[in-house]
Amino acid sequence: MKVTKAHLRKCSYFFIPGVLFITISIILGLWFGRPSTTKNDNPSGLPETTVDLGYAQYVGNTLPGGTRQYLGIRYAVPPTGDRRWRAPEEPLPNQEHQQAKTYGAICYPIGLDYPADGHDEDCLFANIWAPNVGNSSAKLPVWVFIQGGGYSTLASWNWNGTDAVEKAGSKFLFINFNYRVGLFGFLAGGDVEADGDLNVGILDQRRLLQWVQTHISKFGGDPKHVIIHGVSAGAGSVAMHLAAYGGRNDNLFVGAMAQSAFFPAQPHVSDLEYQFDRVLDDVGCRSAQDKMKCLRGTSMGTLQRANDISPFPGRTHAPHFYWTPCVDGDLLVDYPSVLFKTGNFVQVPVLFGVCNDEGSVFADEVETSVDQTSYLLDQYPHLNATHQDTLASLYPRQAPLPNHAPYFPSLSRAYGEATFSCPSASLLTAYSASSSPTWGYRFAVPDADNMAAGLGIPHVFDAPAVLGPGMLPTAASYYTYNAPVVPLVMTYFASFVRALDPNRYRAEGAPAWETWGANGSRVVFEGEGRMNVENAADNGMGERCAFWDRVAETMEQ
């Protein structure tokens, strides 16, 4: 049974009450992310700046603060037609000057009608904000931001990097970019493996990082000092790159930062034939002799109608996240949890953190402990009824929240810890044991609207504190009573980008940020710019995370 948006759970990432930054950022992208309809325009009237990349020359703008902005730079050939479900390739030469003054098209997400303004299958574009250093020998650090969206949508598209660059004194470059998601990024099955490539959404990200190695020096960046950073599925992607090819170091980055890293079920490709078969049925390719040829010849509108979600086999409710990376024996040689536990990861400094209430924007309004377990089984179908007693013991009914069902608070904690908080802690422990410099944090800065809605400090609420409150129109408290936390957090992250250490260039008077260490020491960002230090295992989280760590492989994390 195919599930359309009308059948999605009430609290899916499209329809969540209160302040849901994923939805708001999609709206923000619709305001500012439309591609230009003319080729040689200068809508801003700002001074122009040109960069020659060899395959094309791009004309961008110099912003009032001196930052050079290049939007919609093609980093790969269009992934259309016969290039669907294949690894991205280098851009083709184009002798004409290319305007880089408006954002390029966004990759199609799940559940969006076709055609949609601002979206296109031809969507592999990058945006760059670079200090006006005047030449290509500056060798500034490079901050590569990987957006999230559950591998089903691009939730933070066209976030502007100007604030991050200029508030740090123009000491680095900032890049964000699009990659394929949903059906177009993560279709899997034996036919795809035989005549195409698996995990092409992650391969798009690798292509961007390879593009950076070749071309970023032309913007004044140092290809030997690249930091990868992501939020949510973008942070999960950071983890994927750390463990890619069994931890092989391709020298694409020297440090990694992650906010609310996302660890969904990531099955073996052999377990995803049902997914491939469902798409064949939906688009009419089931009887085709060459099924991949049929899919590649199918119209975009037909494919987009199939770009949706369904329940996992044996379940009746669709999961929040249906399209995810898979274990393919190459890019991902095993479950990420296994790779990190066995030391198969790239040894670089890392900074990972989570928000206090990661699960609150995803949890259903469940009434009983049995309903709670059923919800978790919908997300992780290889959990089973034998885990019911343990889950009931670890996540008993908590104090009620106004306007929420009795077991909503318990499920919020369970899903948040299972999918975000505990896997991140396990990764940090593995890195710390390897002697890589490792920093962790918990974000506990309250917002009155979120608290009133019973969401606590929800998933990715820390994003505007890292990249600037101008990122999202709903981050009002960061301009008022939460304003003190912004320069504090921004400066720690900017310091990591510059020095691979959040302390080197931290804000004046800010305390030193201790490393994770053997005891799981992490900082806690609180309201009004306050900071504390805690052990990540405090308040029973150690016992709960030990359970999720034991079943991570069962959950295909």
Out of 217, 232, 421, 477, pick the active-site residue.
232
Per-residue H/E/C for 28-46: HHHHHCCCCCCCCCCCCCC
Both structure tokens of 326:
């898979």
Residue 232 is a catalytic residue: yes
- Chain-centroid distance of CA 429 in Å reads 21
The tokens 């020096």 sit on which residue?
A: 217
Query: Cα separation of 305 and 303, whole Å?
Result: 5
**CB half-sphere exposure, 411, CA atoms < 13 A:** 27
Count other Cβ atoms within 10 Å, centred on residue 98.
Answer: 20
Which value, in Å, is the radius of gyration of the alpha carbons in the chain?
22
Query: Cα separation of 410 and 431, whole Å?
Result: 30
The tokens 């008993």 sit on which residue?
A: 396
DSSP state of 362: T
CA-to-CA dists, residue 434 to 365, 387, 431, 515, angstroms: 41, 32, 5, 13
The tokens 């990531």 sit on which residue?
A: 266
Query: Cα separation of 133 and 137, whole Å?
Result: 9
Both structure tokens of 424:
């991140």
Per-residue H/E/C for 144-178: EEECCCCCCCCCCCCCCCHHHHHHCCCCCEEEEEC
Q: Side chain identity at 230, as an amino acid letter?
A: G
Query: Cα separation of 202 and 185, whole Å?
Result: 8
Active site residues: 232
